[in-house]
């Protein structure tokens, strides 16, 4: 009832836990699904990210999703592109949540569909860039809240970082946390994982 981290602590072996920010990661191995791992490491609510909200970040779903896949044309070692894909999806989900729209719907609709619907309902004339900008502001505000409450640990369980995949076509892989975080912080415009004054001014949050 208190979650996997509490169980692993009670058993005296924290490495048993597969939780990020206190929540157990879902059924995709970050050692072979780098986009999924980066999402869980950096999302403001940790591993609470539902896999069916983010299937477009999963390589195993490329054939299922076709053109909806964000990683179909991204190699596993293209960390900058993976970081950009994760950022895009985080910002999109943030704004969809604020619109009270189920994020699962992104598997059927495009960003332009949401923009058109919002403009029709409100009489506004925003474009896709403005809508994503709202999502970025929301995501950064959530991050600021976490920072104010000491929740700043962008990482994954040790087993994904140091225990290689034991067999199969991905044998030997571990999750490249340092490299992916470097690229993610860069595309976010954060300074060593923190939201600095320049980013706050850019987003009109100061």
Per-residue pLDDT, 43:
95
Give the pair of three-digit tokens for residue 120.
């029709």
pLDDT, residue 140, reads 97
Average pLDDT of the chain to the nearest whole number = 93
DSSP 3-state of 76: coil
Compute the distance between CA of residue 127 and CA of residue 133 in angstroms, rounded to an integer.
Answer: 10
Q: What is the pLDDT of residue 18?
A: 86
* CA–CA gap between residue 199 and residue 202 (Å, rounded): 5
Closest CA to 136 of 79, 204, 81, 82: 204
pTM of the model: 0.93
pLDDT at res. 168 = 94
| CA 148, 1, 4, 71 torsion-angle sign | negative
pLDDT band for 13, please (50, 70, 90 cuts). confident
- Summarize pLDDT for 45-68 with one digit per residue, the tens: 888 888 889 999 999 999 999 999
Q: What is the pLDDT of residues 82-103, one digit of tens each?
A: 999 999 999 999 999 999 999 9
Q: Average pLDDT for residues 20-35, to the nearest whole number?
A: 90
108 Cβ contact partners less than 8 Å away, ≥ 6 residues apart: none
Take residue 103 and report the two structure tokens written for it.
Answer: 């994020």
CB 152, CB 146: distance < 8 Å: yes
Cα–Cα distance, 102 to 3 (Å, whole number) = 26
């Amino acid at each position: 009832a208190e979650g996997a981290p509490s169980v692993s602590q009670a058993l005296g072996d924290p490495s048993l836990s597969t939780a990020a920010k206190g929540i157990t990661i879902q059924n995709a191995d970050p050692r072979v699904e780098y986009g999924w791992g980066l999402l869980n490491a950096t999302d403001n609510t940790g591993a609470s990210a539902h896999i069916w909200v983010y299937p477009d970040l999963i390589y195993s779903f490329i054939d299922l999703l076709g053109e909806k896949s964000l990683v179909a044309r991204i190699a596993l070692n293209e960390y900058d592109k993976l970081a950009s894909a994760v950022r895009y999806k985080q910002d999109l989900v943030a704004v969809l949540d604020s619109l009270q729209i189920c994020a699962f719907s992104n598997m059927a609709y495009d960003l332009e569909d949401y923009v058109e619907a919002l403009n029709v309902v409100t009489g506004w004339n925003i474009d896709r860039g403005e809508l994503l900008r709202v999502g970025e502001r929301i995501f950064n505000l959530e991050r600021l809240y976490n920072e104010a409450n000491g929740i700043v640990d962008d990482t994954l369980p040790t087993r994904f970082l140091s225990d290689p995949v034991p067999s199969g076509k991905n044998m030997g892989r571990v999750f490249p946390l340092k490299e992916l975080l470097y690229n993610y912080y860069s595309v976010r415009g954060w300074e060593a994982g923190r939201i600095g004054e320049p980013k706050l001014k850019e987003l009109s949050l100061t």
